[in-house]
Amino acid sequence: MRILTGIQPSGTPHLGNYFGAMRQVCELQEKGESFLFIADYHALTTNPEPRLLRERVFNLALDFIACGIDLDRTVFFRQSAVPEVCELAWILDTVTPVGLLERAHSYKDKIAKGFSPNNGLFSYPVLMAADILLYGSDLVPVGKDQKQHLEITRDLAIKFNNQYGGIFRIPEGYIPEAVAIVPGTDGQKMSKSYGNTIPLFGTEKETRKAIMNIVTDCRGLDDPKDPDSCNVVALFKLFASPEELAEMCERYRAGGYGYGHAKQALFEKMWNYFEPMRRRRAELAADPGYVEEVLRRNGERARSEAEKTLKRVRRAVGLR
């Protein structure tokens, strides 16, 4: 089974990204042959500053390798290392009804927020379909927000196959429903757009500061507290054993245990949890040549796979 997913280099990853996406991607490596890429062509739809885009792509590569991407099993590359994907997107464009793209939620949301959309934003799902179909993917793990894009991919693949013969494998989406939403420091969903994140690989000072900023109610040190409605406990749960969690809940209910104590306990748990990954990340950051080489080598591997599909597609549609 071939598993493929892409991730946008959209900024510093946080605990929500780790527990909601990155960890799953690492776990899925056990289940089949994985392709994972950094969606830098897609990132261009927001016209990021070029230097910033380069930095984000590189940092995301460090983050993923540090979090457990197994470079012996997973083809980990930059989307733009395979320009063939743009050619396939163009060919798919010619079987894509405009109405299908006009109905895409993510596009409609951007319009509703007042963005003046470029054509890249409009045809974003077609490039995503090309990403998926180019590598003959069977399973595509994505967040809930990408579900419709996956349906568009399937529609386009079926339409193309009906018109030109069975070239594409029809992929299945995989949306890990069991993943709980990680709350941010203000109790809403943790998200870059809400400014309530705890960064995955922040410095000790940044991490401590973010944790100390978690919103709690105004109960004093001696008061009994409700663990079930507390953001600190909700985050502690991600790292603690059932016994450690039960112990914290007990202390909350008994009183004499302040939110500052709980935050300190959360900080220590989180800091220790990510310690090996943080160390690995620092090693990688100190050897940028190695990371570049990994991305380059994997890009070539992905490209040779892509060329095979594209050759069949070109022949099927009547290009030489």
Query: Contact residues for ligand TRP (CB under 6 A)?
Result: 4-8, 39, 42, 128, 131-132, 140, 142, 146
Angle in degrees, 0-180, between the axes of helices 204-212 and 259-273, rounded to the nearest 10: 140
CB-nearer residue toward ligand TRP: 170 or 285: 170
42 binds, among ligand ADP, ligand TRP, none (CB under 5 to 8 A by kind): ligand TRP
- The yes-or-no answer on residue 209 being catalytic is no
- Minimal distance in Å, beta carbon 304 to ligand ADP? 28
Q: Which of 113, 147, 159, 192 is catalytic?
A: 192
Q: Which of 48, 68, 136, 143 binds ligand ADP (CB under 6 A)?
A: 143
Amino acid at 77: F
- Minimal distance in Å, beta carbon 215 to ligand ADP? 15
- Minimal distance in Å, beta carbon 278 to ligand TRP? 25
What are the two backbone dihedrals, phi and then psi, of residue 279, each rounded to the nearest 5 degrees?
Answer: -65, -45
CB-nearer residue toward ligand ADP: 44 or 179: 179
- The yes-or-no answer on residue 144 being catalytic is no
Distance CA 174, CA 199 (A): 26
Q: Which of 110, 225, 237, 269 is catalytic?
A: 110
61 binds, among ligand TRP, ligand ADP, none (CB under 5 to 8 A by kind): none
- Minimal distance in Å, beta carbon 142 to ligand ADP? 7
193 binds, among ligand TRP, ligand ADP, none (CB under 5 to 8 A by kind): ligand ADP
- The yes-or-no answer on residue 192 being catalytic is yes
- Minimal distance in Å, beta carbon 234 to ligand TRP? 24
| Contact flag: residue 20 with ligand ADP (CB under 6 A) | yes
Angle in degrees, 0-180, between the axes of helices 50-67 and 275-285, rounded to the nearest 10: 130
13 binds, among ligand ADP, ligand TRP, none (CB under 5 to 8 A by kind): none
CB-nearer residue toward ligand TRP: 128 or 295: 128
CB-nearer residue toward ligand ADP: 120 or 258: 120
Q: Which of 2, 159, 189, 208 binds ligand ADP (CB under 6 A)?
A: 189
Q: Which of 4, 6, 9, 17 binds ligand ADP (CB under 6 A)?
A: 17
| Contact flag: residue 16 with ligand ADP (CB under 6 A) | yes
- Minimal distance in Å, beta carbon 218 to ligand TRP? 38
SS3 letters for the chain? CEEEEEECCCCCCEHHHHHHHHHHHHHHHHHCEEEEEECHHHHHHHCCCHHHHHHHHHHHHHHHHHHCCCCCCEEEEEHHHCCHHHHHHHHHHCCCCHHHHHCCHHHHHHHHCCCCCCHHHHCHHHHHHHHHHHCCCCEEECCHHHHHHHHHHHHHHHHHHHHHCCCCCCCEEECCCCCCCCECCCCCECCHHHCCCCECCCCHHHHHHHHHCCCCCCCCCCCCCCHHHCHHHHHHCCCCCHHHHHHHHHHHHHCCCCHHHHHHHHHHHHHHHCHHHHHHHHHHHCCHHHHHHHHHHHHHHHHHHHHHHHHHHHHHHCCC
Contact criterion met (CB below 8 Å) for 150 and 113: no
Indicate which residues carry an active-site annotation: 110, 189, 192
Contact set with ligand ADP (CB under 6 A): 10, 16-17, 19-21, 143, 179, 181-182, 189-193
